[in-house]
Amino acid sequence: MGFYYFDYRAFMWMLPAILFSAFVQFKVQATFSQYSKVRCLRGCTGAAAAQAVAAHGGVLNISVRPISGNLTDNYDPRTNVISLSQGVYGSSSVSAVGVAAHEAGHSIQTAQGYLPNKIRTAIVPVTRFASQLSFPIILVGLLLPTQYNLVVDIGIALFSIAVLFQLVTLPVEFNASARALQALDATELLTQEELSGARKVLTAAAMTYLAACFSALLQLLRLLLIAGSRRGNNQ
């Protein structure tokens, strides 16, 4: 009952995060689309940029491969492979080069042992486990009598691990972008005007992680308030 009773309040509570996330998604798509139409003067493709940025950071054994999807770009530290989406791998646009360089920034973090990145990588398995179980456990706990509040607390503790992951992700993503932009400037793959465009693309993309973190923190605070309210009713 308690879980559903808070539905309306939950929507109002999460509304700022919902609106912020919607704005960020719009901004990312609009910015990426804008600079996808701007071709790099030096004709560098996303794949070439990833290789060059990684090499600039001392990563010489990197592999870059194309994958399907839109903005599905990622770096896998287990295999040292950068996967670039179809609109990035072979494109010579400012957006493509910026996104590819960002993923190469992650490879440099791994090679240089960047501490926040090491922490994030270490907690990935437990985060997946916690994310899958947290809300089912919380729901079960809220359906049980109030003397079983410990079940709710366990669910909230698991969700807190997912929130921690979001918090650790922020410096990792911002740092990867900073490394990418520094390398693009040092290697002169982009002109200064193009570099400004790439910075806008990466800044907009980084805001998606900020929005996710903001949403997770609000959700955690809401859950803590619900748990506190149940304890108050049980006294």
- Integer Cα distance of 218 and 226 in angstroms: 12
Query: Residue ranges of the alpha helices (H) in 188-235?
Result: 192-234
Contacts of 229 (CB under 8 A, 6+ apart): 2
- Integer Cα distance of 91 and 167 in angstroms: 32
Q: Which of 130, 193, 201 minimizes the C-alpha distance to 164?
A: 130
Q: How far, in whole angstroms, is CA 85 from its chain's centroid?
A: 16
Residues listed for the chain: 235
- Integer Cα distance of 177 and 187 in angstroms: 15
Q: Which of 103, 188, 193, 194 is catalytic?
A: 103
67 close to 120: Cβ distance less than 8 angstroms: no
Sign of the alpha-carbon dihedral angle for 184, 186, 188, 192: positive
173 is catalytic: no
Residues serving a catalytic function are: 103
